[in-house]
Amino acid sequence: MQSILKAVLMAVLVAPRLEGFNNDLMLANLLLCNAHCKGSSRPKCENGGFVDHNCECFCPPSLKGDLCQTVETSSACGGIVYVSESKVTEIKTPNWPSPYPAGTKCTWLIKAPADMLVKLTADDLDLPYNSLNRCYHWMEVRYNLIGQLGVKICGEIKGKTWTTTPYGESNLMMVRLDAKFAEDKDAGKGFSISATTAPKPIVEDKSKICTFEPPSDGCFFEGDGNWFVGEDKSPSDYGPSFAYRGQFYAYVDGNNGEDAAKMTYKAPSTMEYCLSFAYYLSGGDLKIHSEDANYFYELWTAQGDQGDGWQKAKVDINAKKDDLIFIIAETGSDYTSDIAVDDIVLKEGVC
């Protein structure tokens, strides 16, 4: 199987138009390996959830339910808030403006219609922090990718706003109060925030995507021979148990030793780009570099075992025409350090 996968990846990443290569036969072999979880048995996960290897929804943190349709929160606060155009919904912490109870944790999922953005304003916020400006209790705002940790806000704030962007989960925002982490610290007033919609600008979607799902016309990143296509559970047992999205992903086997595997893309024009991707790291380093005629630039790095799960990352890349953009996987000396990527998206504009 591995040799087939390697051959397919070579075809997909390195030479997608290789003459004489029987793509159809290879893709048929791959599809035979993935006959389950299709059609009506495939759940339609909501709120940023995706289908895992058991054909069940894998939910972003703080969401649960068969389709990720429910919020995990205490009974005193939180829930799903639907906002619509020209309507402002106020969200307040328990007892506002008196202090919230010790140890309170609340989660609100704010949903706008699919063609709208969510706009949030902190009308009044008072949450305790220390002399180093570290938050004892905080409000966390997650948006665009609600599975990814958001900004933590504390102190005394009035009037600050957040708006989702047209990319990603543009009509979803998650707001959390965490007064549990430092439960022994005195509570502040909490927060009173208002949520509403904002118009979604019409954007021409100039994005490039690699999901490694067949049938594929190839990936815009060119991979060297150290990348394989994996499906469901990785052959080595040290990689992911399932793809981040769909059923296939690209990976580098930890058995490669310290060799680096590289995917390369040449910027077609001088432009600001946003590179987003899902990655799985059980050791070694994953790096995003760019290179012009004179220098190379280290733009982003993740190091070491990140646990059993996919992470998401976004990297702003300011590239000139013909600059090279690299995704570099260095598996290190430990044979367990498999590295996988999926859902690589390059969009014009900042992240």
Only one of the segments 20-28, 39-47, 281-289, 334-342 lies at the binding site for Ca ion (rule: CB under 5 A); that segment is: 334-342
Whole-angstrom CA distances from 314 to 41, 145, 181, 225, 299 are 32, 10, 27, 25, 11
Nearer to Ca ion, 104 or 211 (CB): 211
Min dist. Cβ of residue 327 to Ca ion (A): 15
Question: Of the candidates 16, 218, 246, 349, which one interacts with Ca ion according to CB under 5 A?
Answer: 246
125 binds Ca ion (CB under 5 A): no
Min dist. Cβ of residue 245 to Ca ion (A): 5
Min dist. Cβ of residue 97 to Ca ion (A): 47
Min dist. Cβ of residue 213 to Ca ion (A): 5
Nearer to Ca ion, 212 or 273 (CB): 212
Nearer to Ca ion, 136 or 310 (CB): 310
How far apart are alpha carbons 10 and 13 in whole angstroms?
5
342 binds Ca ion (CB under 5 A): yes
Binding mask 203-242 for Ca ion (x = CB under 5 A): --------xx------------------------------
Tell me, by CB under 5 A, how many residues bind Ca ion.
7
Min dist. Cβ of residue 211 to Ca ion (A): 4
Tokens encoding 223:
């991979």
Question: Of the candidates 81, 243, 286, 341, which one interacts with Ca ion according to CB under 5 A?
Answer: 243
156 in Cβ contact with 202 (< 8 Å): no
User: What burial letters (b/e) apply to 193-225, b meaning 16+ CB within 10 Å?
Assistant: bbbbbbebeeeeeebeebbbbbebebbbbbbee
52 binds Ca ion (CB under 5 A): no
φ, ψ for residue 106 (rounded to 5)? -135, 150
Tokens encoding 130:
């220390």
188 in Cβ contact with 230 (< 8 Å): no
Q: Which residue is nearest to Ca ion (CB)?
A: 246
Only one of the segments 25-33, 46-54, 92-100, 245-253 lies at the binding site for Ca ion (rule: CB under 5 A); that segment is: 245-253
Min dist. Cβ of residue 16 to Ca ion (A): 16
141 in Cβ contact with 113 (< 8 Å): no
Tokens encoding 269:
């024009």
Only one of the segments 105-113, 152-160, 183-191, 337-345 lies at the binding site for Ca ion (rule: CB under 5 A); that segment is: 337-345
Nearer to Ca ion, 171 or 211 (CB): 211
Name the residue type at position 163. Answer: T
Nearer to Ca ion, 139 or 340 (CB): 340
CB neighbour list of residue 334: distance below 8 Å, 6 or more residues apart: 254, 283, 284
Nearer to Ca ion, 62 or 211 (CB): 211
Nearer to Ca ion, 108 or 310 (CB): 310
Nearer to Ca ion, 77 or 243 (CB): 243
Residues at the contact surface with Ca ion, assessed by CB under 5 A: 211-212, 243, 245-246, 248, 342
